[in-house]
Amino acid sequence: MDKTEARLTLAVDAMGSDKGPQEVLEGVAQAVEFSPRSTDFMLFGQEEILSEIIEKHSVLGNARVSVRHAPEIVGMDEKPIAGIKGKKNSSMSLALLALKNGEADALLSCGNTGCLMAGGAIRLRTLEGVERPALCTIWPGRERYFTLLDAGANPHAKPFHIVQSAVLGSNYARLALGLVRPKVGLLTIGTEEGKGNEVIHETHSMLKDIDGSILNYAGLIEGFQIFENVVDVVVCDGFVGNIVLKACESLSKLIGSFLDEELKRNALRKTGALLSKGAFRSLKQRINPEQFGGAPLLGLTKNVIKAHGSSNRNHISGAIKIALDLVQHDMLSQVTEDIRETNELLRPEPLPVKGLQAKEK
Amino acid sequence: MDKTEARLTLAVDAMGSDKGPQEVLEGVAQAVEFSPRSTDFMLFGQEEILSEIIEKHSVLGNARVSVRHAPEIVGMDEKPIAGIKGKKNSSMSLALLALKNGEADALLSCGNTGCLMAGGAIRLRTLEGVERPALCTIWPGRERYFTLLDAGANPHAKPFHIVQSAVLGSNYARLALGLVRPKVGLLTIGTEEGKGNEVIHETHSMLKDIDGSILNYAGLIEGFQIFENVVDVVVCDGFVGNIVLKACESLSKLIGSFLDEELKRNALRKTGALLSKGAFRSLKQRINPEQFGGAPLLGLTKNVIKAHGSSNRNHISGAIKIALDLVQHDMLSQVTEDIRETNELLRPEPLPVKGLQAKEK
């Protein structure tokens, strides 16, 4: 079903940002202006605070913007399960509940990633046929952006989960990166047959089985190829993905600090740095994945997008744009279809219902 | 046994470098000058090529330097097992054989890492009690260098293998980084109990059991803490370690290219870059792990050190210095002792001999 003409509601967890709710609401205001009139925004947070910001803001006074009071806030240091189950009245929990109840079609949150992943798994169901959700991240590569998943939603991944992640990521890359047939690569060590480990061998073999029909599998890739745009969708288990993501983010910051220190070491370097400051600003933008739309938690019955905690208003509105695109282009239906085909090809026997797994038909 | 006074022989695979044998031999020449007179250098490679370089070089004419002819070369694209078993007369294979026969105490190679790991495993035995070797790398952190292992020698790691890697890495960090009690951290996702996966839970529990007596276990660390010098020895399985290592190396290069592009974008930036060029040179040095001694393949009966393929003469001589230190301080005896204690505490039942595992007493 094409939802372009239907009403569409985006839930926004307004409280999780490092920059405070004002910045989140400025991002929402941008989205109110560029989105179709059929789009509503449901803001979750402490009513007093949000209303005060809205009152002073001409765009947010729009009838399409409403506030839902949520007295609690999930902190950045909160443990995943405790942050969700222990704070039922947090902006994050109540927003997830609105998704579950069908009051909203998609959720954007800048809050605690671990809690959002746990909350998505606890409060929402996985999409029909999907066994585990996957967190999908967008990264800057040498020539263009690429996606990497799972970035940590499922650290106990079995080969079939990784295959399903590849299907989810491929669908997301089509919409978010605008690619017709995104190339999928399986992250491993050494690309010759026999290298890697058992999970990789089994996953590789299954991905070859669905290559061509369901996705465009380009084969095994190594760590040094990630940033070289050899593929558009890098797939791995959530344990590896999370570690690589965090290590790379932290290395970027370290290099930034080193550069800063070196440029301030003497007067000559300082003068040079002043003249070429535009280069450093551009560099920072190019290696900053925050600017690009946030990370969706894929494989759930609703679209859940995690924006970075330090996102500014432009990042927020960018993430909202992608969230609305996912709903308008009905990515979930396409994913459901692709997952059904994948399961038919690779897993003919229904599995017993367990954990997060969706009910069998 | 302290080998400071005994004769000591270093085997050098002179053919594997991207920069050619000349650069390797220049590094050896530096080492001939700084090493004690009791140190011999056995160079493996194509005799004609090596002899021509040596003839023109005053230092290498030293009687402590000898050449062993090896007609074959292991290429950078060679597959691990094929590169070793298929090229028995390569400089790498013959150098490993010299270690095995007791003609040399340590080996330095800039050659193909996969082949060197496979060769170490095939040609040499693991140290008594060690089940799998581990490749240990040295990285630049915010304040100082740190080590990360396993960087790919064992991609099928069981918890006990990771524990043994921690013991190996801890011994190496003592010597190479000059630390009395290096802090060891287990790389995972989310540091709260229950996060991560089964392998992590079991490894964490075993590391706690040997904390204090055999090593200094600081607990779980996440990807974003790697570069922050929270610990001195980051331990993980070879699958994760190899991917993180390669992804980070490639990200460094990407950021370098982006910076370069941005600085050349207009005349103003170019002028600025010229004034502050010292900063970029220093930055490159600070984030370049090659300068620091190479990566040892730990857990074998002999010291095997892998230097980066693009190492220059200074990197080579630095790596040789560390190789000689390992022999002179008899790291292997200390490691054997620590592994024996670890095994007594954690694995009271002898395991059946299998694969790479050393013979039970």
Say what the pLDDT of residue B1 is.
Answer: 45
Q: Is the pLDDT of residue A172 over 70?
A: yes
pLDDT band at A80 (very low <50, low <70, confident <90, very high): confident
Location of structure tokens 């109110």: A32
CB contact under 8 Å between B275 and A278, yes or no, is no
What is the C-alpha to C-alpha distance for residues A128 and A122, in angstroms, rounded to an integer? 16
Q: Is A263 part of the contact surface with chain B (CB cutoff 8 Å)?
A: yes
Q: For domain B1-133+299-329, is the CATH number 3.40.718.10?
A: yes
Q: What is the mean pLDDT of residues A30-34?
A: 94
Name every residue whose Cβ is closer than 8 Å to that of residue A267 and which is 6 or more positions away in sequence.
Answer: none
Chain A residues within an 8 Å CB radius of B269: 275-276, 278-279
CB contact under 8 Å between A224 and B246, yes or no, is yes
Chain B residues within an 8 Å CB radius of A251: 227, 248, 251-252
Q: Is B145 part of the contact surface with chain A (CB cutoff 8 Å)?
A: no
The answer to whether residues B108 and B17 touch, using CB atoms and an 8 Å cutoff, is no
Dihedral angle computed from the Cα positions of residues A128, A134, A138 and A141, in that order, rounded to the nearest 10 degrees: -110
pLDDT digits (tens, 9 = 90+) for A266-318: 999 999 999 999 999 999 888 876 656 689 999 999 999 999 888 899 999 99
Say what the pLDDT of residue B291 is.
Answer: 59
Q: Is B115 part of the contact surface with chain A (CB cutoff 8 Å)?
A: no
CB contact under 8 Å between B246 and A223, yes or no, is yes
Q: Is the pLDDT of residue A348 over 90?
A: no
pLDDT higher for B86 or B44? B44
Q: Which chain A residue has the Cα nearest residue B141? A: A254
Which is the CATH superfamily of the domain at B139-290? Isopropylmalate Dehydrogenase (3.40.718.10)
Share of chain A above pLDDT 70, in %: 92
Q: Is the pLDDT of residue B280 over 50?
A: yes
Select A134-292's CATH number: 3.30.70.3280, 3.40.1790.10, 3.40.50.720, 3.40.718.10: 3.40.718.10
Say what the pLDDT of residue B70 is.
Answer: 95
Chain B residues within an 8 Å CB radius of A263: 276, 279
Per the prediction, chain A carries an average pLDDT of 90
Location of structure tokens 């506030």: A67
Chain A residues within an 8 Å CB radius of B244: 223, 243-244, 247
Q: Is the pLDDT of residue B347 over 90?
A: no
Within 13 Å of residue B240, how many CA atoms lie on the same side as its CB?
A: 30
pLDDT band at B288 (very low <50, low <70, confident <90, very high): confident
Q: Which chain B residue has the Cα nearest residue A221? A: B243
Closest Cα in chain B, distance from residue A31 (Å): 31
Task: Look at A136-150, A210-224, A340-354 and tell me which has the smallest mean pLDDT.
Answer: A340-354
Q: Is the pLDDT of residue A115 over 80?
A: yes
Q: Is B192 part of the contact surface with chain A (CB cutoff 8 Å)?
A: yes
pLDDT higher for B64 or B5? B64
The answer to whether residues B351 and B133 touch, using CB atoms and an 8 Å cutoff, is no
Chain B residues within an 8 Å CB radius of A282: 262, 265
Q: Give ipTM to 2 decimals.
A: 0.88
Say what the pLDDT of residue A63 is.
Answer: 87
Say what the pLDDT of residue B226 is.
Answer: 95
Say what the pLDDT of residue B334 is.
Answer: 95
The answer to whether residues B153 and B80 touch, using CB atoms and an 8 Å cutoff, is no
Q: Is A154 part of the contact surface with chain B (CB cutoff 8 Å)?
A: no
pLDDT band at A352 (very low <50, low <70, confident <90, very high): low
Q: Is A278 part of the contact surface with chain B (CB cutoff 8 Å)?
A: yes
Chain B residues within an 8 Å CB radius of A252: 251, 255
pLDDT band at B361 (very low <50, low <70, confident <90, very high): very low
| CATH class of the domain whose range is A1-131+299-330 | alpha beta
Q: What is the mean pLDDT of residues B262-291?
A: 89
Say what the pLDDT of residue A3 is.
Answer: 46
Say what the pLDDT of residue B195 is.
Answer: 75
Q: Is B20 part of the contact surface with chain A (CB cutoff 8 Å)?
A: no
Share of chain A above pLDDT 90, in %: 75
B243 to each of A329, B240, B249, B251, how far by Cα in Å?
35, 5, 10, 12
Please count the other Cβ atoms lying within 10 Å of the Cβ belonging to residue B52: 13
DSSP code, position A352: P
What is the C-alpha to C-alpha distance for residues B202 and B222, in angstroms, rounded to an integer? 17
Q: What is the mean pLDDT of residues A80-100?
A: 91
Angle (CA) B114-A188-B76 rounded to 5° is 30
CB contact under 8 Å between B243 and A114, yes or no, is no
Q: Which chain A residue has the Cα nearest residue B285? A: A258
Dihedral angle computed from the Cα positions of residues B119, B123, B127 and B132, in that order, rounded to the nearest 10 degrees: 40
What is the C-alpha to C-alpha distance for residues B352 and B359, in angstroms, rounded to an integer? 9
Chain A residues within an 8 Å CB radius of B224: 246-247, 249-250
The answer to whether residues A79 and A114 touch, using CB atoms and an 8 Å cutoff, is yes
CB contact under 8 Å between B276 and A268, yes or no, is yes
Give residue limits of the domains in chain B. 1-133+299-329, 139-290
- The reply to whether domains A1-131+299-330 and A134-292 share a CATH topology is yes
Q: Which chain B residue has the Cα nearest residue A226? A: B247
Query: If residue B303 lies in a helix (H) or strand (E), which one and from where to where?
Result: strand B303-306
Q: Is the pLDDT of residue A339 over 50?
A: yes
pLDDT digits (tens, 9 = 90+) for B229-275: 999 999 999 999 999 999 999 999 999 999 999 999 999 999 999 99
Q: What is the mean pLDDT of residues B320-345?
A: 94
pLDDT digits (tens, 9 = 90+) for A174-204: 999 999 999 999 999 977 666 788 899 999 9
What is the C-alpha to C-alpha distance for residues B39 and B31, in angstroms, rounded to an integer? 10
Chain A residues within an 8 Å CB radius of B276: 263, 268-273, 276
Say what the pLDDT of residue B160 is.
Answer: 96
Task: Look at A90-99, A285-294, B209-218, B227-236 and tell me which has the smallest mean pLDDT.
Answer: A285-294
pLDDT digits (tens, 9 = 90+) for B123-154: 998 999 999 999 999 999 999 999 999 999 98
